[in-house]
């Protein structure tokens, strides 16, 4: 009885939500494939009236009522040894449009694949773009933020996803069919699940349906966003070396009064020495280091610089700040906007902002939306060399 009651309550919630989703769905959204789980030894998928199709044996089975289908991924390792590339094992779908994985409900269809090593499985959610954006907004932003800020984030996230899809970047990096366009993580962007969509996120997604940022020549390029720039955004080449001609560094005084104004961290001398040994092994340094790191001296630094100059045993070395953040991580270096000061026993880091600093400043967008700026005006400020285009 309790299960039946829960099922009825879910249907009562689901039906009006689908009605909201369908209001502006005159033209179908593209379907995006998102990896929501990776390197899994076992996968359990639950749904009502499930349809399970095993691709490798061409076996289709329909289940009546609520059912959990289990995959022991270790049993498929022999399949992968022959190819050393991902193999699409199965698809699962439900006429209700909902599936559960890891006690979390998702909208759309699931695909189960072997990972490239062949020792485990990945699970992929295929979902219409606007539904994906509706769930993402509650993860990458805050569903209670002003509508225009949510719309700006929706366009940025959709642009990023469309670029991943059209460029097939994940498959190209893998060297074979990856079966997904992007993953739900900080590496790409963090998507949500069915119950992460709210009235405000759904409205923001569908109000901007099909809108993406393109370059002046009409190209779809990666569109980035971050939490807080700390006063000035950065270009991609200042952080990752990938030059994007359509990006400019823009001033952003708007995020200053939101959250902490700055942060400070400390790194001991031993950790700095470990960093230099790592950088030498990775051939990041201009010249290979000698084994003895007895003398480390730093040239005075400021927050506007993107490199730090060191003298190690009287030999000069230039280190990009983004490399320091890559090595020590986001906890020690919450952003790419910082300065270093040499102290007895180590270094003190003084920084501003949160995140990589490229593209849309989310807290800046929040502040501008509170001032009455439209999402189009917000995007024009952070992406002055991009054009807003409706693609579908």
Tens of pLDDT along the chain (392 residues)?
A: 333 333 333 333 333 343 333 334 446 789 999 999 999 999 999 999 999 999 988 999 999 999 999 999 887 766 666 667 889 999 999 999 999 998 999 999 999 999 877 789 999 999 999 999 999 999 999 999 999 999 999 999 999 999 999 999 999 999 999 999 999 999 999 999 999 999 999 999 999 999 999 999 999 999 999 999 999 999 999 999 888 999 999 999 999 888 888 999 999 999 999 999 999 999 998 787 876 787 889 999 999 898 999 998 888 999 999 999 999 999 999 999 999 999 988 999 999 999 999 999 999 999 999 999 999 999 999 999 999 999 99
Contact 289, 280 (CB under 8 A): yes
For the CA atoms of 169, 175, 181, 184, the dihedral, rounded to the nearest 10 degrees, stands at -100
Of 185, 40, 35, the closest CA to residue 121 belongs to 40
Q: Please report the sign of the dihedral spanned by the C-alpha atoms of residue 232, residue 237, residue 238, residue 241.
A: positive
Place of tokens 């001032």: 371
Contact 325, 333 (CB under 8 A): yes
Place of tokens 């209700």: 96
User: Residue 166: what pLDDT?
Assistant: 96
Instruction: State both tokens at 19.
Output: 């009605």
Residues pairing with 32 in the sheet: 127
Q: Please report the sign of the dihedral spanned by the C-alpha atoms of residue 161, residue 167, residue 172, residue 177.
A: positive
Contact 309, 316 (CB under 8 A): yes
Domain boundaries, the chain: 32-127, 129-223+360-392, 263-352
For the CA atoms of 134, 136, 137, 142, the dihedral, rounded to the nearest 10 degrees, stands at 130
The full 3-state SS of 200-224, as one line of letters, equals HHHHHHHHCCCEEEEECCCCCCCCC
| CB environment 181-215: b (16+ within 10 A), e (fewer) | bbbbeeebbebbbbebbbebbbbbbbebbbbbbbb
Whole-angstrom Cα distance, residue 215 to residue 152?
17
- Chain-centroid distance of CA 338 in Å reads 23
Whole-angstrom Cα distance, residue 281 to residue 288?
8
- Give the predicted TM-score (pTM) of the model: 0.87
Place of tokens 């730093």: 298
Contact 250, 382 (CB under 8 A): yes
Whole-angstrom Cα distance, residue 231 to residue 361?
10
């Amino acid at each position: 009885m309790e299960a039946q009651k829960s099922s009825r309550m879910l249907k009562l919630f689901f039906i009006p939500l689908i009605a909201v989703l369908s209001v502006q769905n005159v033209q179908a959204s593209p379907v995006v494939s998102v990896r929501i789980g990776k390197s899994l030894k076992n996968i359990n998928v639950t749904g009502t009236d499930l349809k399970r199709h095993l691709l490798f044996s061409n076996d289709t089975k329909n289940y009546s009522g609520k059912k959990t289908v289990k995959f022991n991924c270790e049993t498929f390792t022999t399949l992968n040894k022959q190819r050393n590339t991902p193999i699409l094992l199965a698809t699962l779908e439900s006429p209700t449009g909902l599936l559960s994985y890891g006690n979390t409900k998702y909208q759309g269809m699931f695909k189960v694949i072997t990972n490239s090593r062949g020792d485990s499985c990945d699970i992929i959610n295929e979902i219409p773009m606007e539904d994906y954006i509706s769930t993402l907004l509650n993860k990458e932003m805050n569903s209670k933020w002003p509508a225009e800020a949510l719309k700006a984030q929706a366009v940025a996230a959709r642009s990023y996803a469309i670029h991943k899809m059209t460029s097939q970047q994940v498959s190209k990096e893998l060297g074979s069919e990856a079966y997904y366009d992007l993953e739900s993580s900080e590496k790409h962007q963090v998507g949500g699940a069915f119950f992460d969509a709210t009235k405000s996120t759904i409205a923001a997604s569908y109000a901007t349906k099909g809108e993406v940022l393109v370059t002046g020549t009409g190209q779809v390029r990666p569109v980035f966003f971050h939490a807080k720039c700390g006063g000035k955004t950065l270009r991609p080449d200042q952080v990752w070396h990938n030059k994007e001609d359509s990006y400019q560094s823009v001033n952003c005084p708007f995020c200053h009064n939101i959250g902490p104004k700055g942060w400070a961290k400390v790194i001991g001398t031993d950790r700095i020495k470990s960093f230099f040994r790592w950088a030498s092994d990775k051939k990041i340094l201009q010249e290979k280091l000698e084994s003895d790191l007895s003398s480390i001296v730093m040239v005075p630094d400021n927050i506007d610089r993107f490199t730090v100059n060191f003298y190690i045993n009287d030999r000069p070395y230039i280190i990009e700040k983004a490399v320091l953040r890559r090595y020590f991580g986001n906890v020690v270096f919450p952003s790419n906007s910082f300065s270093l000061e040499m102290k007895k026993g180590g270094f003190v880091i003084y920084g501003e902002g949160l995140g990589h600093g490229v593209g849309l400043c989310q807290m800046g967008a929040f502040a501008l939306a509170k001032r009455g700026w439209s999402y189009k005006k917000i995007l024009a400020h952070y992406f002055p060399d991009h054009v807003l285009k409706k693609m579908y």
